[in-house]
Structure 1
Amino acid sequence: MIDDIQFDKMDPARAAAFQVALGRAATIVDGSYLPPFFHQLYFWTPRAPAELGRDGHPKVGLGPIPDMGLPRRMWAGGRLKFHAPIRAGVEAERRSVLDSKTSKIGRSGPLGFVTLRHEIWQEGTHCLTEWQDLVYREDPSATAVEPLTPAARTDETDQREIGFDSTLLFRYSALTFNGHRIHYDLDYARDVEGYAGLVVHGPLLAQLLMMFAEELMGNLTKFSFRASSPLIHFETATLCRNGPDLWVRGSDGQSCMQAVALTAPG
């Protein structure tokens, strides 16, 4: 059963603006193939102010995501299968379902896990299947046990340093219509959710890893990623690759994200 269907014409200007925000030339025009994961710029779900939660996201329970009674939202990871290219300037359809929801007690308290599955179709062709894994947590507590931050691998054969600032985070939030305040509201991120600064979007890290993988490996057929610790906007990070494995290493050597990329044989 499909829980939600949305349509979008995949405006090339939006994708070109994102290229510029990443410091690249604006090359995308009508008919261009979109780079992998650029569909995140589309299929906006605008909500009236009264339908937003305190964090700026749409309130849970209004769409396919149920209300699990936990206020803090994070994108924990995802999986993608690329079936056919998505073209700019052509209307696409996204079909979304709630794939699963579970609850458990972790070291830091109650946790809620939600997986959404999306299919993107364009002119009768199934272009992409995506699974989004979201996690919901309680507010930070002085007595809560924070999870240990894992160390990142250091055996990369390819690497690239990247930096972030509040402008890039704001632009990415705007281009994806992501109102989550941890990415642009420093007081909220620090004082309410307990972060040291603005949090770099997990999907933005995944986007950079996908583009890095495609440059080195060719066209992607599958990509999976898992966030392991937050990266703060003033930190420098390193994109790393060894074979099909990719990861983001933070400035203190922490593992921020791990991923696996697959390409077509030959």
Structure 2
Amino acid sequence: MTDLATQGSLAAAVADWHPPTVELTRRVDPWPAAAFADLVETDPPALDDGAPLPPLWHWFLVLAHPRTSEIGEDGHPADGPFLPPIPGRRRMIAGGRFTRHRPIPFGSVLTSRSAVSAVVPRSGRTGEMLFVTVRSELTVDGDPAVAAVEEQDVVYRSEPEGTERRTMARPEGGRPEPAAAWRLRLPTDSVLLSRFSALTYNGHRIHHDVPYVTAVEGYPDLVIHGPLMALLALELPRRHAPQEQVESVSYRLSRPAFVPSPLVATGDREGDTATVAVAAEGVEPSLTAQVRLR
């Protein structure tokens, strides 16, 4: 784990935190892949045994399943191997990276071995934040050769009882859609978010509980999942360059998006690199990504 970069209350809270390595194993079943394809209104990939799983679709497979008694007030587990011990924890995905070295086939047995690789406290105009990076190595059928490596950056804030709640207004629309060779539009509502939460076993209340998300977390409406936007970004090369493989993707989430705004994914390709953005319709992008094709 990296050394703490700054000193502050969050740095002090995690100074003695030593998260473990976690291993999860699941069969690469075609049902979640077919379900996600239906969620985003597209044809699924080939689902026969031996066909490759699209990049990041392992998010539907290697999932922890904590007991109901272990769930906290925000819908996430109250404690967990990668959840930092800070009071009044608030959590958002900040970005990530994924590199594929060899296919992950349907019908195989997928193992994910994950550990915290970095803990970085930062201070900004909104206060202290803690960035936690979880690195996962994916292997197939017991082969020690790594099939893929994922890093996910999660940002945490501390808002213990009595803290003045921050609020966020809905962004103003009116931004014209950029010209792009690749384009995809997905309407959003609470049903879409609930189905995606079910598919990823995500109980976070910011995605399904309007009184909670507005009164407690200070958002104007239900928050669209960051992972859904990352997967939507990768739908562009999957649909527009189907004969090529995604070798790697790096994405960054800079602002939340809210229902009922449709999501618009746009992308352009130059050589073996595609630049992609996902935004609520008429608003600056929430997610930007670089996708390497092979």
* Alpha-carbon distance between aligned partners in 1 of 2:281 and 2:138, rounded to the nearest angstrom: 36
1:180 matched to 2:204? The reply is: yes
- TM-score w.r.t. the length of structure 1 is 0.89
Superposed displacement of residue 114, structure 1: 0.2
Query: Is residue 132–residue 155 contact of structure 2 (8 Å, CA) maintained in 1?
Result: yes
Match of 1:236 in 2: 262
Pick one of 218, 228, 247 that aligns with 2:277.
Answer: 247
1:50 matched to 2:69? The reply is: yes
Local SS of the residue matching 1:53: coil
* Alpha-carbon distance between aligned partners in 2 of 1:142 and 1:66, rounded to the nearest angstrom: 21
1:32 matched to 2:51? The reply is: yes
- TM-score w.r.t. the length of structure 2 is 0.81
Local SS of the residue matching 2:86: coil
Query: Is residue 109–residue 138 contact of structure 1 (8 Å, CA) maintained in 2?
Result: no
Structure 1 runs, 4 residues or longer, greater than 6 Å off: 143-146
1:263 matched to 2:293? The reply is: yes
Query: Is residue 120–residue 126 contact of structure 1 (8 Å, CA) maintained in 2?
Result: yes
* Alpha-carbon distance between aligned partners in 1 of 2:264 and 2:85, rounded to the nearest angstrom: 36
Superposed displacement of residue 143, structure 1: 6.8
Pick one of 95, 102, 109 that aligns with 1:77.
Answer: 95
1:52-201 to 2 correspondence within 5 Å? Answer: 52-60=71-79, 62-123=80-141, 124=143, 125-139=145-159, 141=164, 154-201=178-225
* Alpha-carbon distance between aligned partners in 1 of 2:157 and 2:236, rounded to the nearest angstrom: 31
Counterpart code for 2:150: E
Counterpart code for 2:182: D
Superposed displacement of residue 126, structure 1: 2.0
Local SS of the residue matching 1:255: coil
Pick one of 7, 30, 35 that aligns with 2:25.
Answer: 7
* Alpha-carbon distance between aligned partners in 1 of 2:268 and 2:176, rounded to the nearest angstrom: 13
Counterpart code for 2:156: Y
* Alpha-carbon distance between aligned partners in 1 of 2:266 and 2:182, rounded to the nearest angstrom: 6
Structure 2 CA distance for partners of 1:54 and 1:156, relative to 1, 3 Å? same
Deviations 1:62-88 (A, max 9, x none): 313321335210011100001112122
Whose Rg is larger?
Answer: 2
Pick one of 223, 240, 246 that aligns with 1:216.
Answer: 240
* Alpha-carbon distance between aligned partners in 1 of 2:201 and 2:165, rounded to the nearest angstrom: 32
Structure 2 CA distance for partners of 1:245 and 1:70, relative to 1, 3 Å? farther
Superposed displacement of residue 152, structure 1: 9.2
Superposed displacement of residue 145, structure 1: 9.3
* Alpha-carbon distance between aligned partners in 2 of 1:102 and 1:72, rounded to the nearest angstrom: 16
Query: Is residue 168–residue 218 contact of structure 2 (8 Å, CA) maintained in 1?
Result: no
Counterpart code for 1:233: V
Identity %, equivalent residues: 31
* Alpha-carbon distance between aligned partners in 2 of 1:14 and 1:134, rounded to the nearest angstrom: 24
Deviations 1:127-154 (A, max 9, x none): 21000000012448467899x99x8983
> How many residue pairs were aligned?
261
Gaps of 5+ in 2: 2-19
Structure 2 CA distance for partners of 1:145 and 1:163, relative to 1, 3 Å? closer
Gaps of 5+ in 1: none
CA RMSD of aligned residues (A): 2.5
